[in-house]
Amino acid sequence: MELCSGGDLFSVLQRAGAPLSEHAVRFCLASVAIGLQHCHEQGVLYRDLKPENVFIDGEGYPKLGDFGLCKTGLTKDSMFKGGGSYCGTHEYSAPEVAAHDVARPASADRGAPAYGFACDWWSFGVMAFELLTGLPPFFACRAKRADVPMSLQFDFAAVPFPSHVSSSAKALVRALLVRDPAGRLGTRDGAAEVLSHAFFGGPMSVISRVNSLRDRSVRSPLLPLLPEVDHRGVPRAPAAPGRVRATFSTSTMDANARARALERGRRGDYAVRSFASSDSTAFRSVADVLAERAATSVSSPP
């Protein structure tokens, strides 16, 4: 197994103490998009894309990991019904996946929508927003129910962007976080469609960008944020404790247990209740938020 001495992407965001630069975000997203495309070409639906599952190697290049919730054997046109099952991480679940939530076991009987590769591009959009702002898009929204994924409770159109985010970055995220999978960026042509967006330089730059990443001819902008390693390539100090986001699979956890796990997170690391959905100051300095999480994670009950 390959050692990724840079840790995960969420740890990189923590060490940055602020949102990543758009140059760094562009590098990360392009690398992840290529990885997702490879998965899809192999018939693999990833289903749990988030910064914690993106690992950084010693050269600062992102790699996908943790394939425990993947669905294999799919084609571009196939859709996975799932028998009402739900798995993934609430903050990143596409609406069509969240409709299979175990907290509403009759969803299969009501005809919950099938889902396919498009759900990974929704999660990609959520991660893009987090890298650009320091927080997931629904972090500032007051959840009405702890056991229902945020993508079913709120419309992304109501989520404000901080002022520092460029217009092309906003347009990219909005094109990815479209409720209808048919209209979502990436659904039709995958990574080629996503990397043709203006945020990445437009259609004319796709081939050169992909080739430069595959050839590793681009110096990673994440290198200054990677931990110091010893002669074996092992980090000298462990990553600081941070947010723990519950990943759920309905085959291993019932609704009550899942709700309890999520509520523990809200009392501790999530701190969702300290934010108001209509308050633009919800996007505080990420350093303040991370400090708050570290303090509450120590005091919260196990």
Closest CA to 90 of 123, 46, 45: 123
Q: Does 48 qualify as catalytic in the annotation?
A: yes
- At residue 298's C-alpha, the angle toward residues 4 and 227, to 5°, is 25
In the set 8, 48, 101, 120, the catalytic residue is 48
**Structure-token pair, residue 140:** 């500032």
Q: Give the single-character DSSP code of 80.
A: B
CA dihedral in degrees (248, 250, 255, 257; nearest 10)?
-50
User: What counts of helices (H) and strands (E) characterise the chain?
Assistant: 10, 4
Contacts of 128 (CB under 8 A, 6+ apart): 25, 29, 169, 172, 173, 176
**Could you give the CA distance from residue 225 to residue 247 in angstroms, rounded to a whole number?**
26
Q: Is 81 helix (H, G, I), strand (E, B) or coil?
A: coil
The letter for the amino acid at 139 is F
> Which residues participate in catalysis according to the annotation?
48
